[in-house]
Amino acid sequence: MTEAVRIDKWLWAARFFKTRSQAQTAVRGGHVAINGATCKPARTLAVGDRLVIVRGESRFEIEVVELSDRRGPAVQAQALYHELPESIRHREALAEQRRLLRQGGPGRRPDKRERQRIRSFTGKD
């Protein structure tokens, strides 16, 4: 366990971003906030800091539990932070909305038998 870790290294080690350069870009772009304030990639983290990470449509609100500058297995990465319950509920609600929107739209094209039934129902032979 290390005493001081840069935010970009920690985000990479915690597997929020695939590369460290992606983590740096996100921090510079204002997609990561520490304790409610934006920061630079070289900002050091401390245990107990609260982070807000916006990645695409997902928004994570987490608390830092452990510091690490090495990327390890996913189980080890998940042990570095604790996600707040409100954040989990919000992300699950958004995922459910996206799922419902996908279901409501057009699916597949009707096959031959379905087209015949549609034609016979509408009277267009």
Q: Give the DSSP per-residue string, 39-57.
A: --TTPEE-TT-EEEEEETT
What is the Cα–Cα distance from 16 to 125, expressed in whole angstroms?
A: 57
Amino acid 43: pLDDT? 94
Segments in the chain below pLDDT 50:
none
pTM value?
A: 0.78
What is the Cα–Cα distance from 105 to 116, expressed in whole angstroms?
A: 22
Amino acid 92: pLDDT? 94
Amino acid 104: pLDDT? 64
Amino acid 108: pLDDT? 78
Nearest CA to 53 out of 76, 30, 69, 70 is that of: 30
Amino acid 110: pLDDT? 86
Amino acid 103: pLDDT? 73
Number of Cβ within a 10 Å radius of residue 22: 15
